[in-house]
């Protein structure tokens, strides 16, 4: 193998006339005799520089690239081991040959630990010294190559990481656009129902007064609320995309329950089902934005209402939990699915909101896939399969968690745990 000298960056460079430049050999010995002897031996092959002590040697190594150093271990002032240690800081790939007289094994062990490639006994034999220096040079070029490969690998790794992040961002963004459309669909359904009612009424009447006028006003108020809701939904997702830091969030659960009841009054999913929304006797506050909590409860309640076309019952209940949850007992099973308990801010008070139905229940294979984006069992065109994925994201962002308990033939209960806020605050 032919070895070419390397510059400080590990590159080989051609000399002025196109000839290969010589490798630089640093000789460090506090005795004039061996220094000169080594200079004579290597002068033709190497660009030889010499130093009479450690300080001079380090200064030289700092000002020019050194390929190989021959160091005497026993020197007055800085010892050869210390020089080696410092050289390693300047350039970890310099090839090093140590010259020893009668060293202890501990000194030799230190030298090997600092990756000296050889140690030669003084007085040295010229052939052995030549071979040792050649091996040290070879080792340096291997070290430089290895370092370059490692650096390249690191570069590639970080490029790959950045690419994965960019793709993840894009994917999240397109999921979010789909989420906006999904969430806005609810209010739009209500708006559409109410406008139909108003249209029918004004088509039949020349003049509106009394009860009918009042009813129309009320419906227009509801439409306005839904339009505001749409605007808030789009604003929320725009905030997500801009990655705004979260402000301190606090919402009255009873106010939200009233909103949800209002919102569902005209929702087609209610049909002839029984919907019970119980307020909490003593109001509790949850650490989440109002629009987010409405969205979570609406998605879960509409799912429960849509679980079967048969008339059934859906109940939304709230409870304040004044202890932390015992997470060690929670385990996914055929009837239970636990989501995001690892991210739950498990400090009392917690708010537990449950949506329970006596619908068909969820078979275990479906239960396992419930929160996957675009997973739906609804006929084509009827469900996007994004509802639960949105619920999960909103709950996760609020440092909450979700438990689903479902028994086929009996029904399903979704419980959302959210960090609560004590009422005094």
Ligand X SMILES: Nc1ncnc2c1ncn2[C@@H]1O[C@H](COP(=O)(O)OP(=O)(O)OP(=O)(O)O)[C@@H](O)[C@H]1O
Contact residues for Mg ion, defined by CB under 5 A: 303, 387
3-state secondary structure of 207: coil
φ, ψ for residue 51, nearest 5 deg: -140, 140
Q: How many other CB atoms are there within 10 angstroms of residue 330's CB atom?
A: 13
Token couple for 318: 């709230």
Interacting positions 40-79 with ligand X (CB under 6 A):
none
CB 349 within 8 A of CB 422: yes
As measured in angstroms, the least distance from the Cβ of 238 to ligand X is: 21
C-alpha 303/C-alpha 297 separation (Å) is 10
Choose from Mg ion, ligand X, none: what does 258 bind? Cβ within 5-8 Å by kind. none
Question: Under rule CB under 6 A, which residues in 275-314 are in contact with ligand X?
Answer: 299, 303-304, 307
For residue 27, the tally of other CB atoms under 10 A from its CB is 27
Q: Which is nearer to ligand X, 307 or 346 (CB)?
A: 307
Nearer to ligand X, 110 or 303 (CB): 303
Residue number with the smallest Cβ distance to ligand X: 387
Over the window 377 to 406, marking each residue x when it contacts ligand X by CB under 6 A and - when it does not, the resulting string is xx----xxxxxxx-----------------
* Residue of 304, 328, 326, 333 lying closest to 317 (CA atoms): 304
Q: For Mg ion, which is the closer residue by CB, 100 or 384?
A: 384
| Residue 111 CB neighbour total at 10 angstroms | 24
Query: How many Å is the Cα radius of gyration of the chain?
Result: 38
Q: Which is nearer to Mg ion, 100 or 301 (CB)?
A: 301
Nearer to Mg ion, 27 or 416 (CB): 416
Structure tokens at 254: 């009873």
Nearest 10 degrees: Cα torsion 180, 181, 187, 189: -170
Partner touching 357 among ligand X, Mg ion, none, CB below 5 to 8 Å by kind: ligand X
295 binds, among Mg ion, ligand X, none (CB under 5 to 8 A by kind): none
By CB under 6 A, name the one of 95, 143, 186, 359 that touches ligand X.
359
Stretch that binds ligand X, among 136-144, 205-213, 242-250, 358-366 (CB under 6 A): 358-366
- Phi, psi (5° rounding) for residue 198? -65, -45
Nearer to ligand X, 210 or 379 (CB): 379
Three-state DSSP class for 277?
strand
Select the span of 11-19, 134-142, 153-161, 355-363 touching ligand X (CB under 6 A). Answer: 355-363
Q: How far is the CB of 222 from ligand X (least distance, A)?
A: 22
Whole-number Cα distances in Å, 392 to 105, 178, 239, 288, 398: 64, 15, 18, 13, 10
Nearer to ligand X, 117 or 406 (CB): 406
Q: CA 364 to CA 336: how far, in whole Å?
A: 9
Closest approach of Mg ion to the CB of residue 323, in Å? 32
Residue 412 touches which of Mg ion, ligand X, none (CB < 5 to 8 A by kind)? ligand X
CA 354 and chain centroid, separation: 30
- Judged by CB under 6 A, how many residues of this single chain contact ligand X? 22
Residue among 100, 320, 346, 412 that touches ligand X (CB under 6 A): 412
Residues 186 to 245 in contact with ligand X, rule: CB under 6 A = none
State in angstroms the smallest separation of the CB of 357 from Mg ion.
13
State the binding partner of 362 from ligand X, Mg ion, none, CB within 5 to 8 A by kind: ligand X
Phi and psi of 286, rounded to 5°? -115, 150
Question: Residues with Cβ < 8 Å from 208, sequence gap 6 or more?
Answer: 201, 202, 216
Nearer to ligand X (CB atom), residue 21 or residue 373 = 373
User: Which residue among 216, 376, 410, 415 contacts ligand X (CB under 6 A)?
Assistant: 376
Residue 337 in tokens? 């699915």
According to CB under 6 A, which one of 362, 398, 401, 402 is a site residue for ligand X? 362
Query: Which tokens is 51 given?
Result: 């130093």
Strands (E) in 266-348, as ranges, are 274-277, 285-286, 313-321, 336-339
Q: Which residues of this chain interact with ligand X, rule CB under 6 A?
A: 182, 299, 303-304, 307, 357, 359, 362, 366, 370, 375-378, 383-389, 412
């Amino acid at each position: 193998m032919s070895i070419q000298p390397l510059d400080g960056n590990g590159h080989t460079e051609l000399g002025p006339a196109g000839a290969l430049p010589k490798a630089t050999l640093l000789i460090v010995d506090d005795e004039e005799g061996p220094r000169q002897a080594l200079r004579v031996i290597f002068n033709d092959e190497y660009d030889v520089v010499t130093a009479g002590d450690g300080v001079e040697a380090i200064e030289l190594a700092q000002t020019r690239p050194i390929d190989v150093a021959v160091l005497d271990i026993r020197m007055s002032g800085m010892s050869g081991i210390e020089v080696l240690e410092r050289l390693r800081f300047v350039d970890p790939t310099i090839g090093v040959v140590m010259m020893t007289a009668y060293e202890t094994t501990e000194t030799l062990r230190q030298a090997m630990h600092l990756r000296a490639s050889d140690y030669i006994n003084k007085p040295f034999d010229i052939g052995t010294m030549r071979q040792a220096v050649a091996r040290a040079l070879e080792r340096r070029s291997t070290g430089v190559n290895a370092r370059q490969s490692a650096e390249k690998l690191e570069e590639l790794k970080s490029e790959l990481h950045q690419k994965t992040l960019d793709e993840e961002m894009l994917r999240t963004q397109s999921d979010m656009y789909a989420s906006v459309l999904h969430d806005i669909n609810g209010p739009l359904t209500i708006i559409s129902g109410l406008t139909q009612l108003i249209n029918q009424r004004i088509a039949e009447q020349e003049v509106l007064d009394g009860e009918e006028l009042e009813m129309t006003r009320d419906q227009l108020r509801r439409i306005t609320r839904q339009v505001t809701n749409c605007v808030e939904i789009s604003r929320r997702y725009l905030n997500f995309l801009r990655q705004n830091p979260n402000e301190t969030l606090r919402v009255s659960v009873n106010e939200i329950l009233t909103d949800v009841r209002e919102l569902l009054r005209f929702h087609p999913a209610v049909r002839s089902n029984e919907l019970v929304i119980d307020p909490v006797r003593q109001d509790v506050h949850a650490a989440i934005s109002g629009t987010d909590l409405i969205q979570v409860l609406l998605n879960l309640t509409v799912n429960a209402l849509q679980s079967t076309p048969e008339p059934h019952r859906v109940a939304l209940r709230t409870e304040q939990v004044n202890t932390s949850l015992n997470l060690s007992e929670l385990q996914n099973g055929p009837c239970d699915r636990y989501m995001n308990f690892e991210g739950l801010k498990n400090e009392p008070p917690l708010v537990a909101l449950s949506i329970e139905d006596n619908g068909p229940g969820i078979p275990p294979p479906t239960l396992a896939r419930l929160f996957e984006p675009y997973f739906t069992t609804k006929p084509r065109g009827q469900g996007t399969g994004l509802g639960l994925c949105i619920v999960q994201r909103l709950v996760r962002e609020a440092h909450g968690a979700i438990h689903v308990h479902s028994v086929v033939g009996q029904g399903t209960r979704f419980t959302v745990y959210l960090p609560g806020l004590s009422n005094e605050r």
